[in-house]
Chain A
């Protein structure tokens, strides 16, 4: 006769030392049982805990821990969605601009003063299209408008989700730059593992390779150039500003990856550092 597993073997606390919160959390997340059982009583009777009160205290701690872990993991998984979204946004914007150029050229051959760019496409899309070529021009204008609208929607999606995926990074870099950094690094985990010097030049790979081939000076900043703290700092001190910003963004990415708690002091430290760097210049 084979031993039938007893109910207690399926319990989340089976085989754990009392009070083991990590083990309990893992069992709560990954375990299964076909049927419920009177777990509190089983835990006391098996001697795993010495009272029901002690059981519930342990269960609560382990359940909270398990929940936090899953929340964090799912958010981390969402960094993939953010990366796709920012790439799609850039593609939509670039394609809209290219098509707008083509459109301006074509429309210019048919109408007076069409102007150029997305604004011109928006105006053209409003026209009553008569027939034939005009109809095609207006229809093309509508496609440009659609692409531009899609880019705007993608941007709102990024703005909404980046603070959930990487709260500290999004707070300091802004949601779109945060998403771009994640995209260039290939996700939150790899961004968190990069040294700050690499983060500083992310997005400047072409310039970096030129430098390594001895054809150019070393780049002082990559995509973080779009941050006000770099762009708004006078040329002479921009390298220092970029270094300071990259340093804090790297820390932000690490906190986001490993703990996920918002740490507002980080922003305050960066503000101070940048003020000091800009001070230097005014002397």
Chain B
């Protein structure tokens, strides 16, 4: 199916080809043409999810909780088209680069926190329309479940599961099946897609919270 890109994300010409792009200050040496920064899907799971045509439900202007912001490659694009964007990352080294990204973006809030401990930032983060998750550590489904409390009832979880983070020996398909069935404890899965050729052994997932909010 074809899906609309969110407002603020466009397919723009770069040289001979077209590519996804957002408007903002450049961050990782990406090409900029007429103020539009190319969004490199090989460096961004969310970029790859948009490229593969997953229906992310993003319209632009949403409030976003981003888990696993690292140096800010992807979250910089998100902040370019979204509303208030909370960026959670627990490693100090990438966060120093993230702070440079925050410098140029008024709607981006850095939080040096562990995504497995949502209570340590629930006093700061408001309920959001979208959670983007790219933590690439063991227990990725549990992280998504723990953060469900932030998501509005009709909100979307956009998560990239990395097979090798869970188990290096099992086949990716088996790992994804396990992760999805765990995720179903709190979410309804709307769509999935492998992120090849942009990212090997990654599964992109679009989900929304269950009606049962008692979890």
Q: Which residues of A are found within 8 Å of B99, using beta-carbon distances?
A: 64, 67-68
Name the residue among A12, A33, A37, A66 with the largest chain B CB count within 10 angstroms. A33
Beta-carbon contact of A40 and B126 below 8 Å:
yes
Q: Is A63 an interface residue (CB 8 A)?
A: yes
Beta-carbon contact of A34 and B106 below 8 Å:
no
Beta-carbon contact of A70 and B112 below 8 Å:
yes
Beta-carbon contact of B110 and A38 below 8 Å:
no
Beta-carbon contact of B102 and A60 below 8 Å:
yes
Q: Is B165 an interface residue (CB 8 A)?
A: no
Beta-carbon contact of A33 and B122 below 8 Å:
yes
Q: Is B160 an interface residue (CB 8 A)?
A: no
Beta-carbon contact of A67 and B120 below 8 Å:
no
Closest to A53 in B: B106
Chain A interface: which of B53-61, B90-98, B190-198? B90-98
Name the residue among A10, A11, A35 with the largest chain B CB count within 10 angstroms. A35
Asked if A35 meets B122 with Cβ closer than 8 Å, knowing A56-B106, A60-B106, A68-B99, the reply is: yes
Q: Is A75 an interface residue (CB 8 A)?
A: yes
Beta-carbon contact of B127 and A36 below 8 Å:
yes
Interface residues on B, range: 20 to 34
Q: Which residues of B are found within 8 Å of A31, using beta-carbon distances?
A: 123-124
Q: Is A32 an interface residue (CB 8 A)?
A: yes
Beta-carbon contact of A71 and B122 below 8 Å:
no
Q: Which residues of A are found within 8 Å of B109, using beta-carbon distances?
A: 56, 59-60, 63
Residues 13-49 of chain A, each 1 if its beta carbon lies under 8 Å from chain B, else 0: 0000000000000011001111111111000000000
Q: Which of A34, A63, A66, A67 contacts B122 (CB 8 A)?
A: A34
Q: Which residues between 91 and 133 of chain B lie within 8 Å of chain A, taking CB atoms?
A: 92-93, 95-96, 99, 102, 106-112, 119-120, 122-127
Q: Is B204 an interface residue (CB 8 A)?
A: no
Beta-carbon contact of B112 and A27 below 8 Å:
no
Q: Which residues of B are found within 8 Å of A36, using beta-carbon distances?
A: 122, 125-127, 149-150
Residues 122-152 of chain B, each 1 if its beta carbon lies under 8 Å from chain A, else 0: 1111110000000000000000000001100
Q: Which of A32, A64, A75 contacts B123 (CB 8 A)?
A: A32
Q: Which residues of B are found within 8 Å of A56, using beta-carbon distances?
A: 84, 106-107, 109
Closest to A73 in B: B92
Please give the distance in Å from A23's CB to the nearest CB on chain B: 13
- In Å, the complex CA distance between A27 and B123 comes to 9
Q: Is A57 an interface residue (CB 8 A)?
A: yes
A-B contact pairs, 26 of them (CB 8 A): A11-B123, A12-B123, A28-B111, A31-B123, A32-B119, A32-B122, A33-B119, A33-B123, A35-B122, A36-B122, A36-B149, A38-B126, A38-B127, A39-B124, A39-B126, A40-B84, A56-B109, A60-B102, A60-B109, A63-B109, A63-B111, A67-B99, A70-B112, A71-B95, A71-B96, A74-B92
Known: A28-B123, A70-B112. 13 other contacts (CB 8 A): A31-B124, A32-B120, A32-B122, A33-B123, A34-B119, A34-B122, A36-B125, A37-B127, A56-B107, A60-B102, A63-B111, A67-B99, A68-B99
Q: Name A residues whose Cβ lies closer than 8 Å to a Cβ of B.
A: 10-12, 27-28, 31-40, 56-57, 59-60, 63-64, 66-68, 70-71, 74-75, 164
Q: Name B residues whose Cβ lies closer than 8 Å to a Cβ of A.
A: 84, 92-93, 95-96, 99, 102, 106-112, 119-120, 122-127, 149-150
- Please give me the 9 A-B residue pairs with the lowest Cβ-Cβ distance, nearest first: A33-B123, A33-B122, A31-B123, A63-B109, A36-B122, A67-B110, A67-B112, A71-B92, A12-B123
